[in-house]
Structure 1
Amino acid sequence: MYQYRHLTPEQKAEILQYRKQQGFPPHSPPHPVQDQQFYLLSAACYEHKPRINTLSRRQEILNQLFTHFIEAGSEILAWVILANHYHLLVENIEFKKISEILRFIHGRLARQWNLEDNLTGKVWYSYSDRAIRSERHYYATLNYIHYNPVKHNYVKSPYDWETSSVHWYLQEKGRDWLRSCWVEYPVRDYGKGWDDLS
């Protein structure tokens, strides 16, 4: 996503032309599939800076997300909030509301956190969405979300990260269910290449 800045003008023009041919917006993530039941939503802080750097901020954004998605008639089925990005697995969202909800939450929190940190400038990059294509994709996504704090070296075990739905699943489904889900739907290279320029 930030590689674009280091490209030559010719390379930038080539990428923009390709995106235009594909019907993608020039610089923001495309949203090609808008009629599925489940989506993985991912949002990152600008330049991946750790602006969600306290437990209270992570809990604050999680509370905001739950409040606004429920008001929109959607359900958050899995989540993880890290220091510089988050992932949500959501169901039954009216697609155009995703952008409205995230713009509202991100705008409010950006102002608040910039004041608290005595900073100015962008806090958020954007968000991306991935339509869930199958049962296997659904459960691999669930595992990807829960494993994310380990993947990014925050903790050694998913159970050690506080702002994750793994604790809800542990309580509701049990450790055996989570373990069998992990074995049956491994993460492997899940998400590899998602940040490619095209």
Structure 2
Amino acid sequence: MVTAACYEHAPIIGASFVRMTDCETELLAVCAAWASTIYAWCVLPNHYHVLLRTDQIAALRAALGQFHGRTAYQWNGAEQRRGRKVWFNCVERLIESHGHFWASVNYVHHNPVKHRYVTRWQEWTWSSATAYLENLGTERAAQLWHEFPILNYGEGWDKD
């Protein structure tokens, strides 16, 4: 799973609906170029998570670095804020087990609820949750939610 946040968790991505949508589109294109599978994603106003499989993590991280540089330049230009630090840290977490995988899927899809942007997964536009629920079915998704709870997943690193 790759995660990146805006500097000081400022809601820079969320400056507009269009920016959120463009960020999601470009982020997924970058990830798709280096991942064999994208399992889940969520873009929030100040950070993102993408759960994926790749054998080319160094190349993906380099491409994400270019994405971050490109978007920072575009957004700072649009807001006349040249020099502002936009991104802080891009980290990857190795998925260590079947249970960790499903807890990660649940965590990514639950993130907009966790951060109180919406009350239900499918209410968030910039996420794979709606497609996930449509493909898997709400009954199976609920079963996986209970079988692989997120508990304190993200504690200490996924802050508001």
Query: After superposition, what is the alpha-carbon deviation per residue over 1:145-195, rounded to whole angstroms, capped at 9, x for unaligned?
Result: 011111111111112111111111112111112111111111111122347
RMSD: 1.4
Are 2:11 and 1:45 aligned?
no
Please state whether the residue corresponding to 1:131 is helix, strand or coil.
Answer: coil
Q: In structure 1, what is the equivalent of residue 94 of structure 2?
A: 131
- Give the counterpart letter for 1:132 in structure 2: I
- Give the counterpart letter for 2:19 in structure 1: R
Identify the match of residue 58 of structure 1 among 8, 12, 20: 20
Distance 2:69 2:33 in 1: 18
Distance 1:179 1:127, change over 3 A: same
Are 2:148 and 1:193 aligned?
no
TM-score by length of structure 1 reads 0.74
Can you give the 5+ residue segments of structure 1 that lack an aligned partner in the other structure? 1-39
Distance 1:194 1:45 in 2: 13
Distance 2:87 2:22 in 1: 15
Query: After superposition, what is the alpha-carbon deviation per residue over 1:17-65, rounded to whole angstroms, capped at 9, x for unaligned?
Result: xxxxxxxxxxxxxxxxxxxxxxx11100011100111222222122112
| Structure showing greater Rg | 1
Distance 2:72 2:92 in 1: 21
Please state whether the residue corresponding to 2:93 is helix, strand or coil.
Answer: strand
Q: In structure 1, what is the equivalent of residue 52 of structure 2?
A: 90
Asked if the contact 2:35–2:53 (Cα under 8 Å) also holds between the matched residues in 1, the reply is no
Identify the match of residue 103 of structure 1 among 56, 62, 65: 65
Query: How high is the sequence identity, in percent, across the aligned residues?
Result: 38
Asked if the contact 2:34–2:60 (Cα under 8 Å) also holds between the matched residues in 1, the reply is no
